[in-house]
Each structure stands twice: as C-alpha cells, then as structure tokens.
C-alpha cells in the first residue's frame, strides 16, 4: 500500500497535516505520546520489580521455616473391643419431619 508513496508524497502529506493541525498541536501530541510511553515503561518495570521481590520473599520464607520437631513416640494403649451396636432402623416419616400421615389433620 505504501510502496507507491515516495519521499515527495510523504513530505506533501506531512505539510498538509502541519497546516491543518498546527505545529503546537503536533508537538503537544508528540510530548503526550512520549510521557505515555515513559509511564508505561515505569509501570512495567515497577511490576516486574515487585513480582521479583515477592518471589524472593516467598523463597526466603520457605528456607527459614524449619519443619516442626517430631513428636516423641507415645505408647499406644491397648485397644478395648467396641461393644457391638444394633443395626440402625430405617428413617420414619416422623423422623424426617413429614409428620404422621395416618393421624387426623386438625380442621
């Protein structure tokens, strides 16, 4: 697309842009673009530094944390046999909160 545009054509286009917007507007636009780029670079740099600092802090805390001391072995008490329990009964409608269906309902 720009292959057919040569240096004279680009100079003419640049001159028309300067006539339309003015030198002050174009220099202000360039200044704003430069500060935006500088601010973006600073934000990326700060974020990278913060991530590296956080990784270093996490790594140092992992190195300084000692494992808890092992508990001395305790003598196990002899286990007593558990009394056998009867099998549980299936739930009834009253235990499920459904009430007694055979009872008369209040009128």
Say which residue the tokens 């008369």 belong to: 104
Which pTM was predicted?
Answer: 0.41
- Hey, where are the domains in the chain? 31-64
Say which residue the tokens 């286009």 belong to: 13
Q: Kindly write down the DSSP assignment for every residue of 8-47, as one continuous string.
A: HHHHHHHHHHHHHH-HHHHHHHHHHHHHHHHHHHHHHHHH
Q: Which residues contact 21 (CB under 8 A, 6 or more apart)?
A: 29
Share of the chain above pLDDT 90, in %: 32
The pLDDT value recorded for residue 73 is 61
Higher pLDDT, 63 or 66: 63
N- to C-terminal Cα separation, the chain: 90
The pLDDT tens digits for 87-107 are 667 676 666 666 555 555 555
Q: What mean pLDDT, rounded, does the chain reach?
A: 78
């Amino acid at each position: 697309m720009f292959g057919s545009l040569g240096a004279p054509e680009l100079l003419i286009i640049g001159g028309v842009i300067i006539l339309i917007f003015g030198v002050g507007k174009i220099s202000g636009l360039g200044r704003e673009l430069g500060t935006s780029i500088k601010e973006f670079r600073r934000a990326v740099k700060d974020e990278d530094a913060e991530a590296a600092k956080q990784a270093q802090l996490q790594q140092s805390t992992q190195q300084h944390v000692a494992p808890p001391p092992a508990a001395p072995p305790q003598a196990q008490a002899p286990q007593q046999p558990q009394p056998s329990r009867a099998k549980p009964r299936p739930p009834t409608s009253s235990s499920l909160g459904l009430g007694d269906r055979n009872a008369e309902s209040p009128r």
